[in-house]
Structure formats: C-alpha cells, structure tokens
A and B are shown apart, each in its own frame.
Chain A
Amino acid sequence: MRAVSRTRILIAAICLLIVYTTGTSRLHDIRDVMKADLKASASVFPPQALKIMAGEFKGLLGDLLLIDAAAFIGSNKKATEEDWESLTLLFKQILALDPFFKQAYYLVQSSLTWDAKRHGDANELLAISRDSRTWDWLPGFFLGFNHFYFLNDNESASRHLMDASRVPSAPLGLATLAARLAQKAGETITAIVFLEAMLDKIDDEEQRKVIEARIEALKGILVLDKAIKSYKERFGTTPEKLDDLINRGVIASLPKNPYERPYTLKGEKVQF
C-alpha cells in the first residue's frame, strides 16, 4: 500500500515538475523582455503622500522604486513622452523618500538630462540632491554642467559650479571652471572675488599657484575690458585686435597672460 502511495507521489511530482519547468520557463521568456512597467510604481501618489504612507520604510521603498527606474532605463525600449513623465514622477517619489540617494541623481542625470532632454525636471531633482548631500559636489556640478551645456546659461552655470566648488571634497578644476564661465558671462569681477575667497582656504602650494594664475588672467581681462570700453567711447568702434589698444594709445602695454600665450579678442570678448 505504501509502495503504491509512493509511486503515486513520485508520478505526481514528475508531472508537476514538467508543468512547472515549462510554465516557469515560458513565463520568464515572456516577462524578461517585458518593458518595465513604470505606471506600477509611478502611480498617482504625490511624492509627499508616498512619504507619509511609507512610514519607517521610506528608505526601503525608495530602493525598490529605484530598481523599477533602473530596470526601465536599462530596458533599451524607446520611451514615449508618457514614459518620461512617469519616470520623472518616479524620481520625484524616490527623492522624496530618500533625498540622499546617490544613485537616484546619477540616473536623473543620465536619463532625464541626456535621453529625455527634460532639463528643467532634471535640474529640479538635482537641486534636491545637492541640498541634501552637502558633502557631495557632483549634483552641483551636474547642475552647472546642464546650465552651461544644454541651457547655454553661463551665468547660472558659473553660480552652480561656484557653489559646488565650495564643497570641501570638490576638485580644484571646478573653481577655475566656474570662474571661466563667470568671466564668459561677463561677470569677471565676480569670478575674481570668488577665486580670491577660494585662495584663502587653500594651503597646498601647487593648488595656490593654479588659482593665483587664474586670478592674474582674470585681472588682465578686467584691464582689457576697461580699455576696450574706453576705446569704444573715444573712437566709436570696437578694436579689431588687442594691439589696436596700444597703437591708438589707450593703454601702454597689454597685461601679462600667466598662461604664456597672448590674450585674444573674439567679438567683444577677451579670452585668455
């Protein structure tokens, strides 16, 4: 009797195993290639409502939502406007749940900025990360980059980069880049004041030399800008080249460029 029962169990097990293997295999085939369903997580829940509902599990829920976002971004499917809308909401939810999440702002920058070209949304989300991660210069850098590269707004770009460069771990190049953009935006004095403030905080001799050179270059530009303005007032036109300033007696000599190359004039802008 027991032997019969065992045989029955064995047959049932084999049959079920066949069904299970076939069913699960087909299920994987179908679902593995399914487009990540963004609507599942990016529901109509406003980010702040989700935060309240998550209770003590905000971090965990944020992690799970990020997996959804990452799965969607990695799915290589052509996204529609509606998808980008959902993804934006998803990021808003994630950052409401966990504003410190590094991977979230990385994904925001890679997907919303580069792929979706939703710069306004991306910058809004990056600002949340920047304000929360006070030790991290990258969100501020991304903000600056987006304003410079995508929005052609040098003034805002330099402001964001200046803010980012004040973060203790920020690379030195960020400060000089910010100053360059400020100068491009016509904010040479701002750039000089910013770099002089930076200089006070730097002890490393090599780094000081880099900043001092940039300050010198900017001061040279300031002198040239004033000379060009004076030239225009006296002769009614802008000089074609910087040497015109000397030839027509506006200044005695051109300031020294610390970068061992002459200053150049492009349009009305002096470059170093």
Chain B
Amino acid sequence: MKEIWLLAATTYKEGIRNRILLGILLCAILLCVFNLVFTNMFSHELSKVTVDAGLSVISISGLMTIFFMGMNLMAKDLDKRTIYMVLARPISRSQYVLGKFLGISLLVVTAVLLLGIVATGSVKLTMLNAPDYIPPHFSWTKFMTAVFALTLSLLIIVSLAILFTVLTSSSFLAVLMTISTYLIGQNAEAVRRLVLQTSSEAMYTFKKAIIIISWLFPNLEAFNLKTAAAYGLVIDKEALLWSFLHGVSYIGLILIIAVVLFNRRELT
C-alpha cells in the first residue's frame, strides 16, 4: 500500500509540475467570463444556465485533464522506457497500475475541486444578481451531489484510460479508445431505452447487441445529474445508490483487467 501511495504522489507531483493547475485556472477564468456573458443572453432561468455551464465546464476540464495529461503520464513511462526504473524498485506491476490510477485520479479530483469552487461562486453570483430566476426547488445539496456523481464518472474514465494505455502500445490509440468508450457510455442508455420499446422482429439482433453493449460499457448517463441540479428536480436515492455501486465496481473490475493484462505484457 505504501508503494502505491508513493507512486500516486509521484504521479500527482509530476502532473502539478506540468502546470496542469495553470490550465485549470485558465478554465476557471474562462468559466467566469463565459457565465457573465452567456447568462445575459437568456431571459429566463438564468441560474439554470449558470449551473449547466458550471457543471459542464467541470466535466470538460476533467476530461481534458484525463486525455491530455493523465494518459500522457502513464504512456510516457512506457514510451520513454522510464518504467524500467520504476519497476527496478521493489514495486510490482499491479502496484504500478494502481499507483498511476490513484495519482491521475487525485489530479482529476483536484481539478474538480478547484473548478467546483469557482462554479459554486459563479452560480451564487448569478443568484444574487438575478434572484427572480432561481428555480423554486434548487438546493446546494443537489448541486454537490451532481458534482460528486460527475467526479465518479470521471474516475471511471480514468480507469478505462489506464486499461487502454496498458492494452495498446500507442498512446494516440489509447486516447481514441477512451474517447470512443466515453461517447458510447454517454449514449448507450438512451439507445437501450429506445430499442427496448420496439417489438419489431427485425430489430432482434440489434436489440441483443445493444443490451450486451449496455453491460460492457459504463452507464455514464446515470452519473449525469446536471439537469436535476439545475432545475432542483428530485434525485432518486435508490438509483443514485445503484449508480454508485455500478461505478465503483466497474472501476474495480477494469483495474483488475488492467493489472492482469499489464502483468502479462512483454515490456520491450
């Protein structure tokens, strides 16, 4: 466990050294400017637009942190062969994979935290400026729940990024596969719901394929509580609990597959 934390800390520090915080800060400034300009374009439900924009920027920044920074941190080790130096120490491959996951996850959580504070501030500011447009059921608990769910979905993507980096020898391919999985994960539920409603015989194979896909890929839409947060809609606690278990177990399983694959991989 100590080794995993050590590796996680090293990965985290490396990310910070890469001026990731500067990028996130830039995103935060853009978010503020965006909110100031953008919300004025609307005549109704200004708070809703701010919440939408705030949570979306957190999501986009988290994704960018994973794709442009997190994945690079691990792929670089493999590309530049620095992994030998790490594995020459008393660190097993499993610990390496888990350490990297933890390090990148910490970077993502930092990004979410920083932007979360800015987003909260900008939502509060809009509410103070336009108190008439606050949705009647808006609550900060729902807003924070949405941020938490969003973070969990980002961690799922981190685990997938680790798996694809281990699986392929090209970091570009790994990024591409992670983005594809992200897109499938976002839309699989809507497609599944749609095909389940059809009773057409011709759709039978397609239906089966979609059901299989919905089991193989994470249901990222289940973690999208932006609308609920923006309108103050009721969040189904049971669905939230199962989403949480779905997410955490998915991360665990993906990491196990990544560990098994990495243990078998020939490092040349």
Contacts and interface: CB of A to CB of B under 8 A. Distances in A.
A31 B190 contact: no
Interface string A1-34: 0000100010011001101101110111011101
Contacts of A13: 253, 256
Interface stretch (B70-78, B118-126, B236-244): B236-244
Given A23-B246, A31-B239, A67 B252 contact: no
Nearest to A49: B41
A22 B245 contact: yes
A40 interface: yes
B231 A39 contact: yes
Contacts of B233: 39
Classify chain B's interface size: 35 or more
B242 A27 contact: yes
A24 B190 contact: no
Contacts of A68: 190
B44 interface: yes
B227 A20 contact: no
Contacts of B190: 36, 64, 67-68, 71
A42 B260 CA distance: 44
Interface of A is mostly: helix
A20 B219 contact: no
A43 interface: yes
B227 A27 contact: no
Contact of B197 (A26, A49, A75): A75
B170 interface: no
A198 to B, nearest CB: 39
Nearest to B193: A71
Contact of A31 (B92, B222, B252, B253): B222
Contacts of A34: 193, 239
B40 interface: no
B94 interface: yes
Contacts of B215: 24
A56 to B, nearest CB: 16
A213 interface: no
B194 interface: yes
Given A27-B219, A43-B48, A16 B245 contact: no
B86 interface: no
Contact of A16 (B187, B219, B242, B253): B253
A17 B250 CA distance: 8
Nearest to B191: A67
Which residue, B42, B48, B92, B252, has most C-beta atoms of chain A within 10 A? B252
Contacts of B197: 71, 74-76
A12 B42 CA distance: 51
A37 interface: yes
Interface string B176-194: 0000000000010111111
B196 interface: yes
Contacts of A31: 189, 193, 219, 222, 239
A67 B260 CA distance: 38
B151 to A, nearest CB: 18
Interface centre among B41, B224, B236, B242 (most CB of A within 10 A): B242
Contact of B256 (A16, A39, A49): A16
Which of A17, A31, A70 has most chain B Cβ within 10 Å? Answer: A31
Nearest to A27: B242
Contacts of B48: 43-44
Given A68-B190, A75-B193, 7 more contacts: A9-B260, A16-B256, A19-B252, A20-B252, A27-B239, A43-B52, A75-B197
By Cβ-Cβ distance, the 6 closest A-B pairs, closest first, are: A23-B245, A20-B249, A19-B249, A23-B246, A16-B252, A74-B197
Interface of B: 41-42, 44-45, 48-49, 52, 92, 94, 187, 189-194, 196-198, 214-215, 219, 222, 224, 226-227, 231, 233, 236, 238-239, 242-246, 248-250, 252-253, 256, 259-260
15 contacts: A19-B252, A20-B246, A20-B250, A27-B222, A27-B239, A31-B193, A32-B196, A34-B193, A36-B193, A43-B227, A64-B190, A71-B194, A74-B194, A74-B198, A75-B197
